Amino acid sequence: TTNRSSVTGTAPVLVASNRGPVSFSTADDGTLTLRRGGGGLVSGLSAIDDPNAVWVCAALDDSDRRAAAEAPHGRLDLTGHEVGGQAVRMLDIDPLTFARAYNGVANSTLWFVHHLLYATPTAPSFDAAFRTEWAAYRAYNEAFAEALAAEAAPNAAVLVQDYHLSLVPALLREARPDLRIGHFSHTPWAPPEYYRMLPDDVARAVLTGILGADRAGFLTQRWARAFAACCEDLLGATVDHDALTVTVDGRTTRLGVHALGADADFLRERAHRPDVDERLAALRAAVGDRRTIVRVDRTELSKNIVRGLQAYRHLLRTRPEWHDRVVHIAFAYPSRTDLAEYRAYTAAVQRLAEEIDAEFATPAWRPLILHVDDDFPRSLAAYRLADVALVNPIRDGMNLVAKEVPVVSDHGCALVLSREAGAHAELKDDALTVNPYDVIATAEALHAGLTMSPEERADRTKRLAAAATALPPQQWFLDQLNAL
C-alpha cells in the first residue's frame, strides 16, 4: 500500500529511486534523526532547485517507515537539512513486499544478471519462491507508478532510476500518457546470451518496462548497446545502432549515454575539512614513510575485493623488496547484509586479510589495514594519501572511486583500473588497465604504479582528474532533463 497524497498533480519534475536522498534512524530516546545520503543523484537534483519538484523513494527500514507514516501527505519535512529544494515522498511499502522486491528480484536477480555474478552450474534457479518475489517486484513497481502519477503535473518530466524500477516507465505511461518519461540505468547491462537466462516473461517485462520511457539512459555506450542487443534478441525490436533507437510495435525509445562524473567542487572542499585532516594524520602515523595502495568499496561481489587482496599477496610473495615498504589500505564497508552471498563474501575478505597478515606482518610492519565500517571522511583521507589506487571490479556501471581519487589526490596517484568498469572508457589513457580476473597481471600493475616516477604520476593524475570531472552531477542531471 502507498501513502495517498491529497497534494496531487503539481510537480513539474520528478525523480524516482529505491534509495532516496535521506534516511532515518531511531535514537535511544525514540526520536527520529535524519541523515542525508550521498551520491550523484542527490547533488544532481539540487541543480533543479524547484520547490515543486518531488523525489519519490521507498522507506527502507522501520525508522523510514515511521517517518513516512508521520509525514503529512507522505511528504517529509526537510527544512534545515540541505537536501535541495525539492519535496521527498517516501513510500511506506509493506515490509515483506519490499524485501522480496529489493532483496529477491532487484539485488539477487537483476543485479547478478547485469554484473555476471552467477556461478551458473547451481544458480540461478527460477522456482516458486522466485515467482512470489517477482509478484512482489511488480507490486512495488506499481506503488511507485501510482505515486508518480498522482504527484505529476500535466506534461511533467519524470526521471526513473535503476533496476529496482524497471517496470515503472511502462506502467506510468499507461496511467499518464501526457508525461515525458526517462529511465536511467546505473548498472551495466548484460549481453543477450547471459540476460536470457531470466525466465522469458520476466526478461521481456523488464525490457518493455524500460521501453515505456521516451528515453533510456546508460552510463556508457557499451551498456546502451547491450540493452539494445537484448531488445533485438528477446523482443524482435528494430534497433538503429548509430542513432541508438529501439523500436517495438511502432513505438521508438531513444537511448542516451550520460557518463556521470565526479563532483569536483564538493569533493575538493569536503576533503580539506578538519575531520578529514584528522584522519589523514592518523593514517600517516600508521603508514610512516611507506608507500600506500588504497581501495575503497562497498563489500560488494562485483567489486572483486578478494582478487585484489590475492594480487597484493602475490606482489609481496614475488617482490620481497616491497616488504616493510608498502601498506595496503583497504576500506570495505558493509552492504546488502541481508543476502547470504554478501555475508559469505565479507567473511572471505576478512579471512584472506588475516592470512596476509599472518604471512607477512612483523612487529614493525602491518602490511594491510582493513576497515569494514563506513567512514566517508576517512575514505577521503585515504584518497589524498594514496600512491596507488586499486579499482578492479569484475563489472561496474561506472565506478566513481576511480573518478574521485584523482580529483582529491594530494601528490598524484597511479590508478590501477579494471577494463570492465564503465569509467575505463574515459580513463583508460592514463590508468594502468587490468583484466580483473588476472591476479598476476594485477600484481604487476600494482608494482608498475608503485614504481612510476612522481612526475609521471602527477601528470597522469591531472589528466585523469580532467576526464573524471567532464560531466559533473548537476550537468549530468540537466542533460537528461533537457534531452527529454
Residues at the contact surface with ligand F6P, assessed by CB under 6 A: 19, 39, 162, 186-187, 335-336, 397
Tell me the closest approach of the beta carbon of residue 69 to ligand F6P, in angstroms: 22
Give residue 415's identity as a one-letter amino acid code: L
Tell me the closest approach of the beta carbon of residue 19 to ligand F6P, in angstroms: 4
DSSP 94: -
Find out whether 114 and 197 touch, Cβ atoms under 8 Å. Answer: no
Tell me the closest approach of the beta carbon of residue 339 to ligand F6P, in angstroms: 10
Angle at 435 between CA 430 and CA 439, to 5 degrees: 115
CB atoms within 10 A of CB 385: 21
- Rounded Cα distance, 93 and 75, in Å: 15
Tell me the closest approach of the beta carbon of residue 41 to ligand F6P, in angstroms: 7
- For residue 177, CA distances in Å to 149, 166, 181, 238, 467 come to 10, 17, 9, 23, 38
Shorter beta-carbon distance to ligand F6P: residue 336 or 403: 336
Tell me the closest approach of the beta carbon of residue 68 to ligand F6P, in angstroms: 17
Shorter beta-carbon distance to ligand F6P: residue 328 or 395: 395
- For residue 285, CA distances in Å to 9, 180, 280 come to 57, 54, 9
DSSP 4: P
Shorter beta-carbon distance to ligand F6P: residue 101 or 445: 101
Shorter beta-carbon distance to ligand F6P: residue 212 or 397: 397
Shorter beta-carbon distance to ligand F6P: residue 346 or 461: 346
Task: Indicate the pairing of strand 22-26 with strand 432-434.
Answer: unpaired
Tell me the closest approach of the beta carbon of residue 307 to ligand F6P, in angstroms: 20
Tell me the closest approach of the beta carbon of residue 135 to ligand F6P, in angstroms: 21
Q: What are phi and psi of 127, to 5 degrees?
A: -110, -165
- Rounded Cα distance, 131 and 139, in Å: 13
Tell me the closest approach of the beta carbon of residue 112 to ligand F6P, in angstroms: 13
3-class DSSP string for 293-334: EEEEEECCHHHCHHHHHHHHHHHHHHCHHHCCCEEEEEEEEC
* Short-list 92, 7, 90, 18, CA closest to 52: 7
Tell me the closest approach of the beta carbon of residue 228 to ligand F6P, in angstroms: 19
**Residue number, nearest CB to ligand F6P:** 186
Shorter beta-carbon distance to ligand F6P: residue 247 or 335: 335
Shorter beta-carbon distance to ligand F6P: residue 103 or 350: 103
Shorter beta-carbon distance to ligand F6P: residue 12 or 38: 38
Q: What is the DSSP string of 213-280?
A: SSEEEESSHHHHHHHHHHHHHHH--EEETTTTEEEETTEEEEEEE------HHHHHHHTTSHHHHHHH
Shorter beta-carbon distance to ligand F6P: residue 162 or 387: 162
